[in-house]
Structure 1
């Protein structure tokens, strides 16, 4: 009979060490290449304890992913977004701040940025949980961060906020890809070295805000 891990007594110090090692390894190697015996060794516990506490590697990844989301929720200063003057100002502020956070919390961002790939590689039993964490975080953040800025802008009456949010999400996805690629090539980069990516962000959202046609069109 399989032991119910929700009722297993857990040593908080061991849980913290396991999750810290898991976060680091999943961030660097992704889901497939991460080894639970390495996590156990780094956490100074037996491999049996890892499985007893978390069930299997897939559920350990879900726990690490949720911890990464919770950490970012706890440390992020959302006024950076909400107090922006317009969408261009918001995207520039957000990109700079997000890069600064990523440099400060590389493991959490590594897990978050590799999560969609990991969701496809993980067993079917946890794919829905992984995607659900992302969907919940994205939906909550869009409504909480973008809406206050949109409410202050003179939007065309035929354009609804949901459409703008979808386009904003697409822009942020592109910026995340560019940031990930840059950091992979330049692991020791500082915030000042991301000027080109920030310029791209400003250009992309400028198109969203002002369109592609000249005033004469």
Structure 2
């Protein structure tokens, strides 16, 4: 029986880094394993030895990208905010900062969410699991701030969070479009006009639009 040689962690890390970069830039279908091997400075055969096939390599890249964010996430950005508007603004700034710090990982995960129906079944299942986990994490991060809010009669926390979600999701799309149109952007300060516009919309929701009535 042939003895399996131990994996080289540095080579494996290079393969994953190359896979994240190329899958993020080109997508799953267009990216070839030989491109990843070339960028990682290893043989194509070694890539298959470590990851079996392209599908498993893509899944490993998704997992590594997601774990990167889960490792560095700072919960205090959400939980130490004085109110919900401040929390959304702080979290938005923080997410942009992470995106600028880890652009390939962020793009890979965003692309997987948007185009998950075009992915292999194993990656689709992982994306769905990741979506649920991220939703649960967001709820957990927001819970301490929401618990401190006092709502008007007839207004529930669920209603308020649903409306806030519509607004923030719209601004996430705006921010992604802006970053895609300005790949040279490297500083979060350059996004302040959009962030301040989001702050204005959140204040409108909290205070209401109509006087009297």
TM-score band (shorter)?
Answer: 0.7 to 0.9
Q: 2:142 aligns with which of 139, 146, 156?
A: 146
- Structure 2 residue 140 is matched with structure 1 residue 177: no
Please report the TM-score for the alignment, with normalisation by the length of structure 1: 0.84
Q: Aligned pair in 2 of structure 1 residues 128, 169: CA closer, same or farther (>3 Å)?
A: farther
Query: 1:15-44 CA distances to partner (integer Å, 9 max, x unpaired)?
Result: 111110111112222222222211111111
Q: Name structure 2 gaps, 5 residues minimum.
A: none
Query: 1:74-102 CA distances to partner (integer Å, 9 max, x unpaired)?
Result: 11212111111111111111111111111
Measure, in 2, the Cα distance between the counterparts of 1:63 and 1:153: 41
Measure, in 1, the Cα distance between the counterparts of 2:5 and 2:168: 40
**Aligned ranges 1:3-152 → 2 under 5 Å:** 10-140=7-137, 142-152=138-148
Q: Aligned pair in 2 of structure 1 residues 61, 206: CA closer, same or farther (>3 Å)?
A: farther
Q: Name structure 1 gaps, 5 residues minimum.
A: 1-6
Measure, in 2, the Cα distance between the counterparts of 1:113 and 1:215: 40
Q: Shift of residue 191 of structure 1?
A: 1.4
Please report the TM-score for the alignment, with normalisation by the length of structure 2: 0.85
Q: Aligned pair in 2 of structure 1 residues 126, 97: CA closer, same or farther (>3 Å)?
A: closer
- Cα RMSD for the two superposed structures: 2.3
Q: Shift of residue 51 of structure 1?
A: 2.4
Instruction: Name which of structure 1's ranges 53-62 and 74-83 shifts more when overlaid on structure 2.
Output: 53-62
Q: Aligned pair in 2 of structure 1 residues 54, 143: CA closer, same or farther (>3 Å)?
A: same
Q: Shift of residue 160 of structure 1?
A: 4.2
Q: Aligned pair in 2 of structure 1 residues 8, 85: CA closer, same or farther (>3 Å)?
A: farther
